[in-house]
Amino acid sequence: MFTRAISTSVAALLLAGAAHAQDQSIIVQSTTSTANSGLYDHLIPIFEEESGITVNVVAVGTGQAITNAENCDGDLLLVHAKPAEEAFVEAGYGTERTDLMYNDFVIVGPAEDPAGVDGMEDAQDALSQIAGSGATFASRGDDSGTHQKELSLWEGTDADPTSGSGEWYRETGSGMGATLNAGIGMGAYVMTDRATWISFENKQDYEILVEGDEDLFNQYGVIPVSPDHCPSVNIEAAETFADWLLSAEGQEAIGAYEVEGQQLFFPNAPAS
């Protein structure tokens, strides 16, 4: 059964199962931000060396990752749309959801800032001002965790982005990196998770203009896929990886990952 094991228990489990696990592998259905940021390149080699379990990551938008897991195309889900994750577990697709780590969303835009939102801390006010100014906003439009958060923010404004679809509101239907590239190409504002932005190399004259709003909090969760729904799931190996991520060692490894001297993810698994 999936447990929030302490580091000593996880270490014992890894050592005991390492020989048996040499030919085991799991598929993690994941959001793109954790992959694009390089986090898995940092974490997975540590885990694989200790456990002998091979971890394969499918990085897509959160909505697609959840759909893939519902279709039994994965053993573990690691995404960032808590209401959808809770619904996934409630429907019997996952065994248990646990907070893993967090960062935040930011709104980036060109240095000339045509909508005048630089320094604003209220994300909904900033979105209203962008819409009211007629400036272009580029949305992922792909049912990802970032897209779901963006839509929830628009709901609290006096603007209707759907009415501006194809005009000032541009939906790329793509991942975060591709949307940033497209947005920068058209001079648009973009909402992105901070980890992807820090790792993004094509910033040009773009800057973070809106940040610090509590509504921009970005929580990630981890969920083993239920063997009751998907009998073929490698539940033992999936739970071993989940337990390691939630252990003191895994949490320390998450917190230690930096790009350009900046920490990208902040571990916050519940104490065991």
Q: What is the pLDDT of residues 172-227, one digit of tens each?
A: 999 999 999 999 999 999 999 999 999 999 999 999 999 999 999 999 999 999 99
Q: Final residue of a domain: which of 216, 235, 253?
A: 216
Q: Is residue 39 pLDDT above 60, yes or no?
A: yes
2 in any annotated domain:
no
Q: Final residue of a domain: which of 216, 242, 258?
A: 216
64 shares its domain with 157: no
Please say whether the dihedral angle defined by the alpha carbons of residues 85, 87, 88 and 92, taken in this order, is positive or negative: positive
Rounded Cα gap, residues 67 and 132, in angstroms:
35
210 shares its domain with 119: yes
133 in any annotated domain:
yes
When comparing pLDDT for 2 and 169, which is higher?
169
14 shares its domain with 139: no
Q: Is residue 1 pLDDT above 60, yes or no?
A: no
Q: What is the percent of the chain with per-residue pLDDT over 90, rounded to a whole number?
A: 88
The CATH number of the domain where 145 resides is what? 3.40.190.10
pLDDT given for residue 96 in this prediction: 98
116 shares its domain with 202: yes
12 shares its domain with 138: no
pLDDT given for residue 271 in this prediction: 85
pLDDT given for residue 5 in this prediction: 43
Reduced to 3 states (helix: H, G, I; strand: E, B; else coil), residue 106 is strand
108 shares its domain with 98: no
Q: What is the pTM of this model?
A: 0.87
Q: Is residue 8 pLDDT above 50, yes or no?
A: no
pLDDT given for residue 37 in this prediction: 92
The stretch 235-250 carries a mean pLDDT of 98
55 in any annotated domain:
yes
Crossing angle of helices 62-70 and 145-154, rounded to 10°? 120
41 in any annotated domain:
yes
70 shares its domain with 144: no
Q: What pLDDT digit, counting tens, does each position of 45-87 carry?
A: 999 999 999 999 999 999 999 999 999 999 999 999 999 999 9
Q: Final residue of a domain: which of 216, 240, 255?
A: 216
AA letter at 134: G
1 in any annotated domain:
no
pLDDT given for residue 14 in this prediction: 54
pLDDT given for residue 253 in this prediction: 98
Q: Is residue 19 pLDDT above 80, yes or no?
A: no
Q: Is residue 250 pLDDT above 60, yes or no?
A: yes
Measure CA of the first residue to CA of the last residue in the chain; give whole Å: 15
191 in any annotated domain:
yes
133 shares its domain with 83: no
Q: What pLDDT digit, counting tens, does each position of 109-140 carry?
A: 999 999 999 999 999 999 999 999 999 999 99
Taking alpha carbons only, the member of 142, 139, 138 closest to residue 67 is 142
Rounded Cα gap, residues 224 and 240, in angstroms:
10
Where in the sequence is the domain holding 158, given as residue range(s)? 104-216
Assign 99 a pLDDT band (cuts: 50, 70, 90). very high
108 shares its domain with 211: yes
50 shares its domain with 121: no
What's the domain count of the chain? 2
Taking alpha carbons only, the member of 245, 246, 265 closest to residue 255 is 265
120 in any annotated domain:
yes
14 in any annotated domain:
yes
94 shares its domain with 225: yes
Reduced to 3 states (helix: H, G, I; strand: E, B; else coil), residue 3 is coil
132 shares its domain with 44: no
Q: Where are the strands (E) in 143-265, listed by range?
A: 169-171, 189-193, 206-210, 217-224, 258-259, 262-263
Assign 23 a pLDDT band (cuts: 50, 70, 90). low
